[in-house]
């Protein structure tokens, strides 16, 4: 059962893409297909980022250790959907208009932040192999991969800032991110005070 978990989740993570492909093929991307495509891929990039960030809290709360084996894959899926989102923006929305892209990155804050989030994700994807973890050493690797916290914040900010007036949906993503990051802060504080107690018995 646990052995089949990973392949099953692997396929599950392809479902949003399959659904998109089906909609595109059957001409169901709506009146503004370019916008639909871009938004859809962006939504899923952010969702996978949050799903990957949920792995550790889920393990700590439920004690389900096997979930940790999914963490790398989910993180790479987040990167995968981020790449598709970026590709649809550059290749389809802007149609490889590089000067327009350069202007957007410099002038549009939400695009600046989105691009920064993508650039920060690249080293995390590159160092996701076992060989790279060994080469970096666990401690340095873990420190590098803490970048995913600011990346999550950049992702939510990127979405929040592009919305015209109705911020309820980005607020929801922001709230989920706050819970996931807040859990880590609390967990750390608790462990520290626990360690302090253990170090000073009888006090």
Partner 1 sequence: MLIRHTPDLRESEVTDRRLYLDRRRFLALGAGAALMGAGQAQAGPIASYAKGVVVLDDKPTSKEAITTYNNFYEYGTDKEDPAKNAPGKLKLRPWSVAVEGECARPGTIALEDLVKPHRLEERIYRMRCVEGWSMVIPWIGVSLAEVLKRFEPTSKAKFVEFATLADPVQMPWIKSRVLDWPYVEGLRMDEAMHPLTLLATGLYGEELLPQNGAPLRLVVPWKYGFKSIKSIVRIRFVETQPRISWEKANGREYGFYSNVNPEVDHPRWSQASERRIGEFRRRDTLMFNGYGDQVGSLYAGMDLRKNF
15-44 binders of partner 1 (CB under 8 A): 30-32, 34-35
Give yes or no for a contact between 29 and 23, defined as CB atoms under 8 angstroms apart: yes
Q: Is 168 a residue that touches partner 1 (CB under 8 A)?
A: yes
Nearest CA to 149 out of 138, 157, 160, 140 is that of 157
To partner 1, the closest distance from the beta carbon of 131 in angstroms equals: 42
Nearest CA to 84 out of 52, 43, 51, 125 is that of 43
Q: Could you tell me which stretch among 75-83, 89-97, 144-152, 170-178 binds partner 1 (CB under 8 A)? A: 89-97
> Considering beta carbons, is residue 91 or 182 the nearer one to partner 1?
91
CB neighbours (10 Å) of residue 13? 20
To partner 1, the closest distance from the beta carbon of 168 in angstroms equals: 7
Which residues contribute to the site for partner 1 (CB under 8 A)? 30-32, 34-35, 94-95, 97, 100, 103-104, 107-110, 161-162, 164-166, 168
């Amino acid at each position: 059962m646990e052995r089949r978990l990973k392949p099953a989740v692997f396929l599950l993570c392809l479902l949003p893409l399959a659904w998109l492909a089906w909609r595109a093929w059957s001409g169901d991307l709506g009146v503004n297909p370019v916008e639909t495509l871009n938004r859809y891929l962006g939504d899923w990039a952010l969702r996978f980022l949050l799903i990957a960030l949920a792995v550790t809290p889920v393990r700590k709360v439920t004690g389900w250790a096997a979930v940790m084996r999914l963490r790398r894959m989910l993180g790479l899926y987040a990167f995968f959907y981020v790449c598709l989102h970026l590709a649809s923006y550059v290749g389809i929305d802007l149609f490889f208009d590089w000067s327009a892209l350069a202007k957007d990155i410099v002038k549009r804050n939400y695009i600046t932040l989105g691009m920064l989030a993508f650039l920060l994700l690249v080293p995390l994807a590159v160092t996701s192999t076992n060989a790279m973890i060994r080469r970096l050493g666990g401690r340095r690797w873990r420190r590098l991969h803490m970048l995913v916290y600011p990346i999550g914040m950049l992702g939510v900010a990127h979405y929040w800032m592009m919305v015209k007036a109705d911020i309820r949906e980005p607020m929801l993503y922001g709230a989920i991110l706050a819970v996931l990051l807040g859990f880590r802060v609390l967990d750390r504080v608790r462990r520290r005070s626990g360690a302090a107690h253990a170090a000073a018995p009888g006090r």
